[in-house]
Amino acid sequence: MKISIIKVGYLEANCYILEQNKKLIVIDPGDEYDKIAPYIKNKEIVKVLITHYHPDHVGALSNFEDKLILKNPKETTYNIGPFSFMVIYTKGHTSDSITYYFKKEKIMFTGDFLFKGIVGRTDLPSGNQKEMFESLKKIKSYPGDIKIYPGHGQSTTLKYEKENNYFLKDPFF
């Protein structure tokens, strides 16, 4: 699977384009559709995934057909086109925060739930520190060799976060 990262908007949110067999999944089309458009030209978008509904992650959403947007996903495995992924509820940054886990590829898209070296804020509307801790416990149970693609900044691995991120280190829990 090919992964393209496009930094969009004034907060430089990471919009991800996943490509397999000329089919695409777009994750968090935050803004600046003109930056995203060249990556999707002449290819079939099979789904648009949203990690959470803050404006810096959905600003260009209106440029996509409504039927392509995965709305109110259940916490289960989805097989869409050539893609297979799990939805994991990772509330805390927001009440609608979702992580997408592509098990075969060993990658997670965490939105603003988990960044390299830190976690997302919980002091914004619908944020909740207790839910954040529960979500961190959940994610901590996954294998360390998973690559993390956050909503902003650079990628990391779950192993690195377990060893270096204060919020995931023992004995924090």
| Nearest to 65, CA basis, from 82, 88, 40 | 40
Cis amide prior to 125 (ω within 30 degrees): no
Write down the pLDDT at residue 171.
61
The structural domain count of the chain equals: 1
For 76-120, the pLDDT digits (tens) are: 999 999 999 999 999 999 999 999 999 999 999 999 999 999 999
Residue 170 resides in a domain: no
Given a cut of 80, whether residue 172 has pLDDT beyond it is no
Residue 151 resides in a domain: yes
Write down the pLDDT at residue 173.
52
Residue 33 resides in a domain: yes
Write down the pLDDT at residue 169.
81
Provide the CATH number for the domain around residue 121.
Answer: 3.60.15.10
Which helix (DSSP H) or strand (DSSP E) does residue 140 occupy?
Answer: helix 129-140
Residue 169 resides in a domain: no
Average pLDDT, rounded, for the chain? 95
Residue 172 resides in a domain: no
Residue 173 resides in a domain: no
Strand partners, 23: 20, 44
56 falls in which pLDDT band (50, 70, 90)?
very high
Write down the pLDDT at residue 42.
92
Q: Residue 69 belongs to what domain range? A: 2-164
Mean pLDDT of 19-46: 96
Residue 7 resides in a domain: yes
Mean pLDDT of 10-38: 97
Q: At 154, list the tokens.
A: 């650079």
Who wins on pLDDT, 173 or 136?
136
